[in-house]
Amino acid sequence: MKKILLLPALILLVLAACKQPSGKDGSSVTFINPATMDNVIKQLTDSCGPDAKFRIERGVKQAASLWQKGDGTAEEFSKFCLENFIADSAKLNVLFNKLQTSFEVLYGNFNKMSMDLRIPVDLDGPELTPIDEMFAAFSPSAHLTDDLFLNKIAFITALNFPFYTLEEKTKFGESWNRTQWAYARMGDVFTSRVPAELNQKVTDALTKSDLYISEYNILMGKLVDQSGKTYFPEGMKLITHWGLRDELKSHYGKADGLEKQKMVYTVMKRIIDQSIPEMVINNADYQWNPIDNKVLKDGKDVSFTAEPDRRYEMLLNNFKAMKQVDPYYPAYPSYIQRAFELNMEIPQADVEKLFVSLITSPEIKQVGVLISKRLGRNLQPFDIWYDGFKARSSINEDELTAKTTGLYPNAAAFEKDMPNILRKLGWAPERADYIASKVQVDPARGSGHAAGAYMKGDKARLRTRLTPEGMNYKGYNIATHEFGHNVEQTIDLYDIDNYMLSGVPNTAFTEALAFLFQKRDLSLLGIKDNDPNKEHLASLDAIWSCYEIMGVSLVDMQVWKWMYENPEATPAQLKEAVIKIAKDVWNQYYAPVFGSKDEPILAIYSHMIDNPLYLSNYPVGHLIDFQIDGFVKDRKFSDEVDRMYKQGRLVPQSWMKGAVGNTISVDPMLKAVDEALKAITK
């Protein structure tokens, strides 16, 4: 599940080039002219000395790029810079500490306000009303950036703390100390000036798409085949895509498992092409035969209207909201570039190259052959979610659910047990109690998520779906994943040396720790895996998981490229394009392994709809998780997690070098899979 990000708009839209919005002709609009900048730079250099020249040049240009006519005249700009540039290192450190302390207050409280306003839509509870949705879409921090520019706090920050590009951070970062890194992150804060109304539009679009997905449930007990036979228990309610996917996974090795899996896949395809009857979504009043796409009431056919491409309307609305922000980032004029180069801090082309290098490796085809052999049949498209390498695949899920519902009848029981979970993972009792005390558990309305605090004194939130009977195994498995997020969120907020370094390089790094927790879910239940090949099986499971999600991520990337090439597209046109892209990616990278063409399954992921370009964080997170897991194999897990995540928000490759001594790579996984294939198939 995703790590939900409800940061203030100031943080959501940081890290841009130091320029103003482009004019109608595409030229850069800058109120402060070069002559004024040069004059200020000369005066400051003469008074402060050549040692400060780099900071002066970059700071003055950065502040000038953000200064608008309403901020004052050119003369007032010059006076502001001459009076507020700080050359003395001790005084600069005083300014830094005052800024980061104040930003923690602002970011932390705005985040808490946003989280509290979202309680009705995020937590399980009464039926939603329009006012709930309106408050959830409201961004308390929408005007924060504007206000900080108006009172000149933003300009003081930009003037004194230079912005470094990703290339510069990567190049110079290895020699920086912690203070220099924190100063560099302070320089990231005010590098663009997005109007409040656009920040609010982004929040509104994201909230609506998130709510659309959160309320998108399929009543599985109402699914029937052509003969009227039901395959799933009455009352089973599964969210797309996560619940459907996990249900499909749970039926490997069962007598009627293949038929159930085929039905789930049929439902998924109906969702993708929007032929699903609108009346069966989150509605238990009708039976639905997804194979023939018929709706029944009291055994009789009922006429219906298909969902009107709303899935793609949500995606398109997110694109349009993000695109309106583009002019305020002239050096990164698309959300694609910002998502990768600014937020992930890995160029999109590098991410794509990394993914393709794994999914085209010969090992993938060999693993596919092995899975087919283990299943005793040809691969089906939904076998991208083959779950047979995991220890739990040999255990009846009903038995697991009986255990988890007994342990966790409600959210409070899981919260109470969190210190014990951490002790089992190696944390000392006092440390386990400390970390767990910073996390609050709530029952989720949707699939579940983790949301970190942004100030000390506030708690991270763990939200997971519960059934009336308690936390079933699926919910428990998700909860352990989300708890991994919360542990990361706690360590790199409460134990970090500088607030400006709190967090992780990008969300792939929090996904990595979530995966590390999730894969230990059975051992936390006291279920031991005595299989001598368990490490080899884990390697095979890891590469197959990467294979699946990397293809989904490639679809996500290509869809965004298509939207930029076709900005006036309708939802129906976007739907057609998404399906074509999904089939093309399938045909190129999956058909050679699966033997079937034109499968749309890679378009089912909900994150593509409600969390723009987030999907790439999962496979990168899997690679990071694999490298970390290999590194901690002969070390104490808890100590290494504490050490690694106390590094905070360095750039990705610097963080990885500090954590495991190497950059992010597919090589360790491919090497382990080669060894696994030899051991398993001999």
User: Distance between CA 517 and CA 621 in Å, rounded?
Assistant: 13
The mean pLDDT value for 72-77 works out to 96
DSSP collapsed to 3 states, 537-577: HHHHHHHHHHHHHHHHHHHHHHHHHHHHHCCCCCHHHHHHH
Residue 296 pairs in a beta bridge with 287, 301
- pLDDT grade for 339, boundaries at 50, 70 and 90: very high
Stated pTM of the model:
0.85
Task: Render pLDDT for 390-416 as a digit per residue (tens, 0 to 9).
Answer: 876 668 888 999 999 999 999 999 999
Give the number of residues written for the chain. 682
- pLDDT grade for 26, boundaries at 50, 70 and 90: very low
Task: Render pLDDT for 195-213 as a digit per residue (tens, 0 to 9).
Answer: 888 988 999 999 999 999 9
Burial class (CB within 10 angstroms; exposed 0-12, middle 13-18, buried 19+) of 351: buried
Which residues are CB-contacts of 117 (< 8 A; sequence separation ≥ 6)?
Answer: 135, 136, 138, 140
- Give yes or no for a contact between 357 and 508, defined as CB atoms under 8 angstroms apart: no
User: Distance between CA 550 and CA 164 in Å, rounded?
Assistant: 30
Residue type, 388: G
| Residue 318, φ and ψ in degrees, nearest 5 | -65, -45
**Beta strands 460-464 and 439-443: pairing type?**
parallel
3-state secondary structure of 431: helix
Query: CB count, 10 Å around CB of 228?
Result: 10
**Does 16 score more than 70 pLDDT?**
no
Its sign, for the CA torsion 250, 256, 258, 260, is negative
Task: Render pLDDT for 526-556 as a digit per residue (tens, 0 to 9).
Answer: 998 888 898 999 999 999 999 999 999 999 9
Closest CA to 355 of 604, 619, 545: 619
Apex 651 CA angle, 646 and 654, nearest 5: 75
Tokens representing residue 576 in the block: 């057609």
Task: Render pLDDT for 269-311 as a digit per residue (tens, 0 to 9).
Answer: 999 999 999 999 999 999 999 999 999 999 899 999 999 999 9
Task: Render pLDDT for 128-166 as a digit per residue (tens, 0 to 9).
Answer: 899 998 898 888 888 898 899 999 999 999 999 999 988
Closest CA to 42 of 81, 86, 95, 92: 81
3-state secondary structure of 294: strand
Burial class (CB within 10 angstroms; exposed 0-12, middle 13-18, buried 19+) of 298: exposed
Question: DSSP character for 357?
Answer: H
3-state secondary structure of 29: coil
User: Distance between CA 86 and CA 98 in Å, rounded?
Assistant: 14
User: Distance between CA 221 and CA 525 in Å, rounded?
Assistant: 29
Tokens representing residue 139 in the block: 């961004």
**Does 32 score more than 60 pLDDT?**
yes
User: Distance between CA 658 and CA 2 in Å, rounded?
Assistant: 25
Measured between alpha carbons, how far is residue 330 from residues 28, 298, 493 in Å? 8, 59, 32
Tokens representing residue 525 in the block: 């239940």
Q: What percent of the chain has pLDDT over 90?
A: 81
Burial class (CB within 10 angstroms; exposed 0-12, middle 13-18, buried 19+) of 462: buried
3-state secondary structure of 328: helix
Q: Where are the domains of the chain?
A: 9-192, 213-272+275-308, 347-390+529-681, 396-503
- Give yes or no for a contact between 652 and 662, defined as CB atoms under 8 angstroms apart: no
Token pair 């709303």 is at which residue?
A: 310
DSSP states of 463-489 = EE--BTTB--HHHHHHHHHHHHHHHHH
pLDDT at 396: 83
Closest CA to 159 of 169, 149, 168, 167: 149
**Does 11 score more than 70 pLDDT?**
no
Closest CA to 359 of 619, 624, 547, 599: 547
- Give yes or no for a contact between 172 and 651, defined as CB atoms under 8 angstroms apart: no
Tokens representing residue 195 in the block: 């109007």
Scanning 250-396, the segments in alpha helix (DSSP H) are 257-272, 310-325, 335-337, 348-359, 362-375
